[in-house]
Amino acid sequence: MANVLVERAGTDVVLLRLNRPEARNALSPELREELRDLFLALDRDESCRAIVITGDMRAFAAGADIKAMAEATPAEMMERDDETNWAAIRNCRKPVIAAVNGYALGGGCELAMHCDIIIAGKSARFGQPEVKLGIMPGAGGTQRLTRAIGKFRAMQLLLTGDFLSAEEAHVAGLVSSVSEDDAVVGDALALAARIAALPPLAVEEIKRVVLTGMDMPLEAALKLEMRSAYLLFGTADKGEAMRAFVEKRPAVFTGK
Ligand code: CO8
């Protein structure tokens, strides 16, 4: 059985559903490789304009698979080359929305933080409990969490393994918005469809500049932004969007 289920939602949105409910969607090596291959394929698939990733009502993902790591040595962990699996998600040019119900812990929280937008159900719980296992986050948990919610709240979570509720995560800036539990996936798909209907080159460039600029000094990031903003004036969709505005009609985008 596939560890990740793939559904088309409308013509241009793809829904990825983690499918290890018996293990709270723990990220086994096989599941990560499936995710990697899916992200590499969707990045190249012109018919896919936005991706939603979700789990089930009990867990988005409860982290790396502890049973698959319990006896692992450093060399074995290196051989798994998890970095390449995460890079496929990190480098995806399409907008990615996490629709989180239940637990997003450890690697599950890190997976959500690889996404561009996080929509959480009211009962969702976020945390990096690695410290309780005598290890530490290895897929951006110490860095992305700190950038998202600041040093002092991040330290408290990372050093205790405590969880944040959806509302606490929202207030802290880890979550984009909170929905009723049973509305999370629908809300994420509706948002994805709205983004997918916008000019794809503008969407792609905005994502690239936000993510690249976050790690640059402000002056350099502002220059990057300006260059990308100029570049979009060369697209057919920019011409169509502005003409449509002036002519008071809906725009028809081609992705060119
Ligand atoms: N890995 C493997 N199996 C899991 C995991 C997991 N992360 N989480 C849950 N399961 C399994 C349980 O073992 C159980 O299986 P079984 O039925 O065979 O006993 C089943 O899922 C259901 O779990 P529970 O009965 O515990 O369900 P609850 O609803 O009571 O609790 C929790 C759910 C709170 C999610 C609980 O299961 C839990 O605490 N899970 C572990 C969470 C955790 O510690 N996550 C962090 C893992 S480490 C990580 O993600 C980063 C690794 C970084 C590696 C660095 C590389 C260099």
3 state SS for the chain = CCCEEEEEECCCEEEEEECCHHHCCCECHHHHHHHHHHHHHHHHCCCCCEEEEECCCCEEECCECHHHCCCCCHHHHHHCCHHHHHHHHHCCCCCEEEEECCEEECHHHHHHHHCCEEEEECCCEEECHHHHHCCCCCCCHHHHHHHHHCHHHHHHHHHHCCEEEHHHHHHHCCCCEEECHHHHHHHHHHHHHHHHCCCHHHHHHHHHHHHHHHCCCHHHHHHHHHHHHHHHHHCHHHHHHHHHHHCCCCCCCCCC
183: left (phi over 0), alpha (psi -120 to 50) or beta: alpha
Residues annotated as catalytic are 64, 107, 110, 130
Q: How far is CA 65 from CA 3, 10, 153, in A?
A: 13, 32, 26
User: Does ligand 1 lie within 6 Å of residue 138's CB atom?
Assistant: yes
- How many other C-beta atoms can be found within 10 angstroms of the C-beta atom of residue 84? 12
State yes or no: pLDDT of 25 exceeds 90: yes
pLDDT at residue 10 in the model: 85
d(CA 15, CA 79): 30
Best of 18, 20, 24 to mutate for ligand 1, by most ligand atoms within 8 A of CB? 24
* Domains (range + CATH), the chain: 4-196 (3.90.226.10), 200-247 (1.10.12)
Q: Which of 7-11, 14-18, 25-29, 235-239 has the lowest mean pLDDT?
A: 7-11
Query: Which residue's CA is minimally distant from atom 55 of ligand 1?
Result: 138
State yes or no: pLDDT of 1 exceeds 80: no
Task: Locate 125 and state its tokens.
Answer: 């719980």
Share of residues in the chain with pLDDT > 90 (%): 98
User: Does ligand 1 lie within 6 Å of residue 199's CB atom?
Assistant: no
CA of 74 to the centre of ligand 1 (A): 21
> What rounded mean pLDDT belongs to the chain?
97
pLDDT at residue 250 in the model: 96
Query: Which residue's CA is minimally distant from atom 29 of ligand 1?
Result: 58
User: Does ligand 1 lie within 6 Å of residue 60's CB atom?
Assistant: no
User: Does ligand 1 lie within 6 Å of residue 24's CB atom?
Assistant: yes
Query: Which residue's CA is minimally distant from atom 16 of ligand 1?
Result: 23
Global confidence as pTM: 0.97
pLDDT at residue 226 in the model: 98
Query: Which residue's CA is minimally distant from atom 1 of ligand 1?
Result: 65
CA of 76 to the centre of ligand 1 (A): 20
pLDDT at residue 217 in the model: 97
Q: Stretch 90-103: mean pLDDT, rounded?
A: 98
* 57-95 pLDDT per residue, tens: 999 999 999 999 999 999 999 999 999 999 999 999 999
Task: Locate 170 and state its tokens.
Answer: 């929202």
* 149-186 pLDDT per residue, tens: 999 999 999 999 999 999 999 999 999 999 999 999 99
User: Does ligand 1 lie within 6 Å of residue 72's CB atom?
Assistant: no
CA of 67 to the centre of ligand 1 (A): 9
pLDDT at residue 108 in the model: 98
User: Does ligand 1 lie within 6 Å of residue 13's CB atom?
Assistant: no
State yes or no: pLDDT of 133 exceeds 90: yes
Q: Stretch 122-127: mean pLDDT, rounded?
A: 98
d(CA 202, CA 199): 6
Q: Stretch 134-160: mean pLDDT, rounded?
A: 98
pLDDT at residue 128 in the model: 98
User: Does ligand 1 lie within 6 Å of residue 34's CB atom?
Assistant: no
pLDDT at residue 11 in the model: 85
State yes or no: pLDDT of 246 exceeds 80: yes
